């Protein structure tokens, strides 16, 4: 699509995180006053947000040989546990420190989310092994990063993007597990990196009561809008079965060429059905914050939707409550409700020699449900 700037080859992830933070500071938004009236963009009136605990780091995930990691995308598994899927992971508490893997997974049997998520084991055995074998920085690509994971029937489906230098996506693909995340196989589904103008590289998905999986997507540049697609659950691994939502001749309809459903610059996305509503959580990179949209249906007008800021960016040394330095991600933990929401939030201190903190945290949000 025209007008969307896409990253060039070899750009580093830290470049985009620093650019997002700088843009937000320049506009006076990070650590500043909460913007927006009730129901408007950026408003967070009435929310109570607290950090529950760090989920990764020294002494927490050291036994899995993964002290530095991010994302932590959760899903309920067929056997009743929770699986959390992480991105670029390193053995030492620094970016680039030791054994590099992505994606990796940890299981949890935590029943009381308010007491903090704990780990029951790692995919791969004693240590957190990569979910499938490949070499990082090989002649073709550098890493594979997870977007989202969904449970359909008795199978887990994981969407990942293949990067040649972070942000330069060659293609994305879907993997499947039929044993609660222990082993994975490629479904054969592959989407070109330039599909839909590069706006189908990073996605989130959730199953509706009508049998369709609804998919919001964007690019990895943190500067693109959102697109919406749907696909029958049984065809989720068939790229040609994805149907776009678009605007043409004065009306929106399925099957039209995909049209942005929300303008802006977005990163990580998480769509879930909670309490009879649809909840979309996204990293608004242009504003340096993590936001939530509460919707009656996936095709609702996001520009007019009930919208709240969950996590505000702030400066290092000024963190408290919902104010977090260099946040991103924002994934809904199974067992959440709209009025008692738990999220995994990532944080990476770029521009330092160690690249630490580079971790995943658990936050609790109360008061989100519209009244």
Quickly tell me which residue has 């249906």 as its tokens: 297
Give CA–CA dist 73/90, Å, rounded.
17
- What is the set of domains in the chain, with CATH numbers? 13-366 (2.115.10.20)
pLDDT digits 0-9 by tens, 110-130: 999 999 999 999 999 999 999
CB atoms within 10 A of CB 206: 21
Quickly tell me which residue has 């009561």 as its tokens: 209
Contact 213, 232 (CB under 8 A): yes
Local structure of 133: helix, strand or coil: coil
- The Cα diameter of the chain in Å comes to 58
Q: Which pLDDT score is estimated for 43?
A: 61
39 Rama class: left (phi>0) / alpha (psi -120 to 50) / beta: left
Q: Which pLDDT score is estimated for 6?
A: 29
Give CA–CA dist 148/270, Å, rounded.
7
The contacts of residue 186 (CB under 8 Å, 6+ apart) are 132, 173, 174, 175, 176
Quickly tell me which residue has 């750009």 as its tokens: 11
pTM: 0.90
Report residues of the chain scoring pLDDT below 50: 1-41
Distance, C-alpha 304 to centroid of its chain: 23
CA atoms within 13 A on the CB side of 350: 15
- What is the 3-state secondary structure of 282-313? EEECCCCEEEEEEECCCCCCHHHCEEEEEEEE
Give CA–CA dist 155/4, Å, rounded.
35
β-pairing, 121-122 with 143-152? unpaired
Distance, C-alpha 88 to centroid of its chain: 13
Quickly tell me which residue has 């899927």 as its tokens: 85
Give CA–CA dist 210/185, Å, rounded.
27
């Amino acid at each position: 699509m025209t007008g969307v700037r896409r990253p060039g080859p070899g750009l580093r992830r830290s470049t985009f995180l620093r650019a997002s933070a700088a843009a937000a500071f320049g506009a006076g938004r990070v650590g500043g006053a909460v913007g927006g009236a009730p129901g408007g963009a950026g408003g967070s009136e009435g929310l109570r947000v607290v950090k529950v605990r760090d989920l990764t780091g020294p002494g927490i995930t050291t036994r899995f040989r993964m002290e530095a990691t991010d994302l932590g995308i959760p899903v309920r598994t067929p056997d009743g546990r929770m699986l959390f899927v992480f991105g670029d992971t390193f053995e030492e508490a620094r970016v680039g420190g030791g054994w590099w893997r992505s994606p990796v997974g940890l299981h949890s049997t935590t029943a009381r989310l308010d007491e903090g998520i704990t780990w029951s084991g790692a995919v791969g055995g004693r240590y957190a092994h990569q979910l499938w074998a490949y070499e990082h920085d090989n002649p073709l690509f550098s890493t594979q990063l997870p977007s989202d994971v969904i449970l359909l029937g008795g199978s887990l489906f994981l969407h990942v993007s293949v990067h040649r230098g972070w942000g330069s996506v060659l293609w994305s693909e879907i993997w499947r597990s039929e044993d609660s995340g222990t082993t994975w196989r490629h479904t054969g589904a592959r989407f070109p990196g330039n599909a839909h103008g590069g706006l189908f590289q990073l996605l989130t998905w959730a199953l509706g009561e009508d049998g369709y999986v609804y998919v919001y997507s964007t690019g990895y540049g943190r500067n693109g809008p959102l697109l919406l697609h749907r696909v029958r659950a049984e065809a989720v691994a068939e790229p040609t079965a994805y149907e776009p939502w678009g605007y043409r001749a004065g009306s929106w309809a399925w099957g039209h060429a995909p049209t942005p459903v929300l303008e802006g610059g977005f990163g990580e996305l998480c769509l879930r059905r909670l309490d009879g509503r649809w909840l979309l959580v996204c990293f608004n990179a242009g504003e340096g914050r993590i936001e939530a949209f509460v919707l009656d249906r996936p095709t609702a007008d996001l520009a007019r939707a009930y919208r709240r800021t969950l996590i505000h960016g702030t400066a290092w040394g000024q963190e408290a409550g919902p104010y977090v330095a260099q946040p991103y991600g924002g994934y809904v933990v199974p067992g959440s409700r709209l009025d008692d929401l738990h999220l995994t939030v990532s944080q990476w201190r770029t521009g330092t020699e160690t690249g630490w903190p580079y971790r995943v945290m658990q936050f609790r949000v109360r008061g989100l449900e519209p009244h």
